[in-house]
């Protein structure tokens, strides 16, 4: 089903791209470019990049191709199809591009042909944390964190986190308790919130847990909270849906790790737009 959808999208993209580079009428090429950009947005949706698909439609379809249509219409002479649109280098260009394509496909299949099937997508996971009071110890609780996907299958094995009620030695309110390397390559760890010293595990108290994996560079992928309703509870399971939607994560990356490139590229965009205005002014 997904494969069929991919092939339909890819066929439309390739046919539109061929028409973009071969049609005599440049105006029609620009319209087929719009079609190709729309289908590339569909490809992004298939790759779980919803934010990027929206950006693609907004910027490429909404801004860039419209700008090109404006330029084509302002330079009116060029859109008559009587003018030859290609130069004499069609056959060398075809040879070069086919050679590049063959080289790229050879390299891709040699290098990435053995990439296993897709890894679980974080957006579909559910974190469940079960808390258990051990019978032998009065105040030691056993925390188990499990990440499961939509189908309920455990992608990541559970991790037992021993949590003792003593306030940690350092003054940190948040103390990492356990990190365990999982067979799937992820590290689960949990943090407990010691917001109330010496009065841990009262009834009605909220205990916060963070679960994250190593692959997200110690970025929390979920926060779970658990309220002690009854101090004599022996077991309780907290289930929380992971709130890492795609725009959310991209916004966090843009504002934390990529904040300097973000600012630089915004300045560059401003400079480019001012430069474009200066270039196209009449009296320049």
Partner 1 sequence: MPGLTHFLILAAILFSLGIFGLITRRNAVGVLMSIELMFNAVNINFVAFSRYLTPQYLSGQVFSIFIITIAAAEAAVGLAIVMLIYRNFRGIEVDKIDYMKW
Site string for partner 1, 212-241 (x = CB under 8 A): -x-xxx---x--------------------
Q: Mapping DSSP to helix (H, G, I), strand (E, B) and coil, where does residue 230 land?
A: coil
Euclidean distance between CA atoms 205 and 230, whole angstroms: 10
* Tokens coding 243: 């709130």
Our CB check for partner 1 shows the closer of 201 and 258 to be 258
The least CB distance from residue 51 to partner 1, in Å, is 7
Which residues in 154-213 contact partner 1 (CB under 8 A)?
213
Which residues in 70-129 contact partner 1 (CB under 8 A)?
70-72, 74-75, 77-78, 84-87, 89-90, 92-94, 96-98, 100-101, 104-105, 108-109, 112-113, 115, 117-122
Of the candidates 11, 13, 8, 10, which has an alpha carbon nearest to the alpha carbon of residue 33? 13
* Tokens coding 242: 């992971």
Q: Which of 38, 42, 56, 146 binds partner 1 (CB under 8 A)?
A: 56
Of the candidates 65, 1, 4, which has an alpha carbon nearest to the alpha carbon of residue 32? 65
Task: Give bridge partners of residue 191 from the DSSP assignment.
Answer: 176
Q: Is 263 in the site for partner 1 (CB under 8 A)?
A: no
Strands across the sheet with 220-227, in order? 174-181, 187-193, 206-212, 220-227
Q: Which of 134, 140, 257, 263 binds partner 1 (CB under 8 A)?
A: 257
Q: Mapping DSSP to helix (H, G, I), strand (E, B) and coil, where does residue 209 land?
A: strand
Q: Which of 12, 54, 55, 57 binds partner 1 (CB under 8 A)?
A: 55
The least CB distance from residue 80 to partner 1, in Å, is 12
- CB under 8 A: which stretch of 129-137, 155-163, 189-197, 270-278 binds partner 1? 270-278
> Whose structure tokens read 């009116």?
76
């Amino acid at each position: 089903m997904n494969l069929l959808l991919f092939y339909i999208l890819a066929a439309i993209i390739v046919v539109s791209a061929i028409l973009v580079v071969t049609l005599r009428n440049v105006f029609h090429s620009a319209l087929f470019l719009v079609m190709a950009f729309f289908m590339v947005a569909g490809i992004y949706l298939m790759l779980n990049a919803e934010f990027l698909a929206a950006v693609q439609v907004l910027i490429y379809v909404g801004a860039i191709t419209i700008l090109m249509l404006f330029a084509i219409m302002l330079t009116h002479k060029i859109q008559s199809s009587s003018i030859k649109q290609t130069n004499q280098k069609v056959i060398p260009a075809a040879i070069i591009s086919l050679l590049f394509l063959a080289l790229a496909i050879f390299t891709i299949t040699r290098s990435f042909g053995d990439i296993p099937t897709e890894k679980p997508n974080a957006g579909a996971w559910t974190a469940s944390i079960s808390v258990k009071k051990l019978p032998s110890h009065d105040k030691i609780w056993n925390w188990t964190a499990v990440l499961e996907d939509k189908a309920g299958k455990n992608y990541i094995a559970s991790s037992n986190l021993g949590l003792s009620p003593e306030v940690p030695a350092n003054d940190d309110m948040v103390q990492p308790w356990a990190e365990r390397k999982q067979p799937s390559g992820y590290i689960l760890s949990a943090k407990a919130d010691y917001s109330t010293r010496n009065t841990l595990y009262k009834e009605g108290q909220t205990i916060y847990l963070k679960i994250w994996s190593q692959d997200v560079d110690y970025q929390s992928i979920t926060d779970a909270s658990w309220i002690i309703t009854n101090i004599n509870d022996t077991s309780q399971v907290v289930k929380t849906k992971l709130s890492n939607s795609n725009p959310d994560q991209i916004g966090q990356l843009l504002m934390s790790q990529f904040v300097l490139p973000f600012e630089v590229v915004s300045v560059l965009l401003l400079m480019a737009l001012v430069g474009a205005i200066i270039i196209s002014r009449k009296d320049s």
